[in-house]
Chains A and B, each alone.
Chain A
Amino acid sequence: MPEWQGQIPVGPDNVTAAPVELPPEMSKSITRHYRRSMGNAALFATLAAQAAVEQSGLSAAELSGGRTGCVISSTIGSSSEVYESTKAVIEKRFNELSACQFFRIVSHSSAFNVANFFGINGVQLSPCSACASSLQSIGLAYEQILAGRQEVFLAGGSDEVTPIVVSSFRHLYALADSRELMPQEQSRPFDARRCGLVCGEGAGILVLEEYEHAQRRNAPILAEIAGYATNCTGSQISQSDSSSIESCMRLALDDAQVSTDEVDYISAHATSTVAGDREEAAAIRAIFADRVPVSSCKGHLGHTLGASGALESAAVLEMIRHGVILPTGNLEQVAEDCAGLNLPLAPVQRQIKTALKNCIAFGGVNASLVFKMPA
């Protein structure tokens, strides 16, 4: 995934964002019949799903046998296509748009486009919850498999950087805007000089599979999902709140029947906003003090919004596989309000038997997932 394309002009001002520049041949690898109903979010999701399916070794028959589902979500189906459609309505030229325009816009666009591409005909879901979308997708897939409703899921999320999204964060003073920092230095979770988030885009898709089913077909098992929880503040739509984040992590650990002492690594949501990082840091400190290494992928990738939970889960799986904890990108000096945590400044060689992944979203939504190293 290309990182940090630098500052791009989006919206009325130049604001920081890290867009993906997809080579045309990569887009064209999806035939027009499937591509026509995809905005960029669904296109990212389909390309990521192709890589995930290939790595998993799932056959076409397994995907279309009725026991495989698809749960993929985004903040908005395709915010670039929402923008184009709205512009066309205002300019009174809606009839010039493609017949597939609505299929690119709807909230579950990534889910049905991926399902259609692979012939998946089981359960299809799309639990859209902004920046917690894809972690909720993975959690929902886990619950569906636990309940015996499906044996396999493609689960994750995708999202786009557009003026709608970036300008909204900017309006809320949540976007990084430091004049002293280079574009690639602006996203710096937990750091003393953090000043807001940098929007990224992309997709993350995981293959979830019932354990015996995976064993029977000798699937490469990267990790076990041991527990999941999601909750909300019920009182705030924009502010993170440490007590509900703490509750969510405790619920996920309870679901996994894992004690706090067993957690080897925490992949924080930490977006590099002043208030958000402070609240999550307080929640983690209340449970783990400084015993467990914590880092955020967003210093490396920016905030990929609805894709972040799954993309960063994929990073956690790689850390488990390689036995190394990656530090938070751009973290140089831990901020006072994030002190008291174990925040590595360099890679840490460590066997990760149990990892916790957090996501926190507008709407007061929290989600936490517990991964365990495969037995």
Chain B
Amino acid sequence: MTREKLIAKVNQIFVEQFELDPAELTPEKRIFEDFALDSLDIVDLITGLQRQFGVSLRENKDVLAIRTLQDIYDLCEKLVAENPDLRAKISD
């Protein structure tokens, strides 16, 4: 999967789930301060990432460190790198 595809998959959650303007979705944006998300939204973010990437994230401690959109891209990239099946599945 190209990084562009991965970013598009993540951004799709922010557009569809959190109703944000795609133009606002730049990597340095802080999801709590800039997008006004809260703890309930983070549960929905985890659900959205699980749906998009087909992996369980509920017990993943890296999720707790997410602060910016870039952090999410990095987390997803790490997930793809660690999971050959996922890499194969979403590189189509």
Contacts and interface: CB of A to CB of B under 8 A. Distances in A.
Contacts of A98: 44, 47
A344 to B, nearest CB: 49
Interface in A172-221: none
A36 B40 contact: yes
Interface string B9-20: 000000000110
Given A32-B18, A32-B19, A100 B40 contact: yes
Nearest to B42: A99
B43 A99 contact: yes
Contact of B41 (A95, A97, A99): A99
In this complex, the interface size class of chain B, counting residues with CB under 8 Å from chain A, is: 10 to 19
B65 interface: no
Interface string A64-106: 0000000000000000000000000000000111111000000
A33 interface: yes
Nearest to A98: B44
B54 to A, nearest CB: 12
Is chain B's binding surface mostly helix, strand, loop or mixed? helix
A20 B38 CA distance: 31
B44 A99 contact: yes
A26 to B, nearest CB: 16
A96 to B, nearest CB: 6
B89 interface: no
Interface in A21-71: 32-33, 36-37
Contacts of B40: 36-37, 99-100
Contacts of B58: 95
Contacts of A95: 47, 50, 58
B36 interface: yes
Contacts of A37: 40
A98 B17 CA distance: 10
A99 to B, nearest CB: 4
